Amino acid sequence: MQEGGIARRMFLKLIATTAVCFSSIEQAWSYFVSSLGVRTVEKDSFRFDPDSGTIKYSDRAKKEPYKLIIDGLVDNPISLSYQQVRQISVTEQLSDFHCVEGWSVKDIKWRGFRFHEVLKMVTPHSNARFVTFHSLGETRSKPYGQGHYIESFPLESLLDPKNQIILAVDMNGKALPHDHGAPLRVISPFDLAYKSIKYVYRIEFDSKQREGWWTLANPIYTVHAPVPSERLRTKR
């Protein structure tokens, strides 16, 4: 038998085996997404437990409760527990995910809330035209002294419905796993994935846009990161 025939038989056998292992296409796809290689710049120094809403750092004896801080140029800064974050008005969407390395994953199901829900809780100052998101944990390197991951967006972009930006707490029907950004992650589906910051613990209103960690470390990537049109399945 020719090599092409053998390869085809092996491929079909693999598909059949996969079908036996999963009771539905949805389960199989969920497994595939969760098994994807993950790119992260953070040190592997913490884990989040969604059941208790706590963070455990490897260099600390005790767990500490997760708090989402919303501050900066606002009249009434607040902090929310993980349980309170999950109680924010919920939305769901299917989004494609586009890595800066050139690969994409279609139709990931995210569950979370839109940024306009944040504005129901705080009152930004008139000069608060940008928002910087901050990540838990330290990064392995510190470009220009930036020791944790940050990303910045115009407030107008976060509020624009056509951008479909969501602050996600769930992925494919389950709480975000660690590798995909638990407890909270920004998903900006029409931007390259370095804008979809993981491990969010602080939302800071600002008067100017800051260069994100990825841009500081890799200056060829700008603060504006639209996915090339040829990689999009639909036009906005």
- What is the model's pLDDT at position 39? 58
> Which of 118, 100, 110 is CA-nearest to residue 231?
100
Cα–Cα dist 80/203, whole Å: 11
Q: Taking the domains of the chain in order of start, what are their residue ranges?
A: 1-35, 39-231
- What is the model's pLDDT at position 20? 36
| Beta bridge partner(s), residue 171 | 110, 174
Phi, psi angle pair for 132, to nearest 5°: -110, 130
Per-residue pLDDT of the chain (236 residues; tens, 9 = 90+): 444 443 444 433 433 333 333 334 444 444 444 444 455 799 999 999 999 999 999 988 889 999 999 999 999 999 999 999 999 999 999 999 999 888 899 999 999 999 999 999 999 999 999 999 999 999 999 999 999 999 999 999 999 999 999 999 999 999 999 999 999 999 999 999 999 999 999 999 999 999 999 999 999 999 999 999 999 986 55
Bond into 183 cis (ω within 30): yes
- What is the model's pLDDT at position 29? 40
Sign of the C-alpha dihedral computed for residues 161, 163, 165 and 170 taken in this order: positive
Beta-carbon contacts of 206 under 8 Å, excluding residues fewer than 6 positions away, are: 72, 73, 128, 129, 130, 131, 132, 152
- The rounded Cα 172 to chain-centroid distance in angstroms is 13
Superfamily covering domain 39-231: Oxidoreductase, molybdopterin-binding domain (3.90.420.10)
DSSP for residue 103: -
- What is the model's pLDDT at position 11? 38
- What is the model's pLDDT at position 61? 83
The helix (run of H) or strand (run of E) holding residue 52 is none
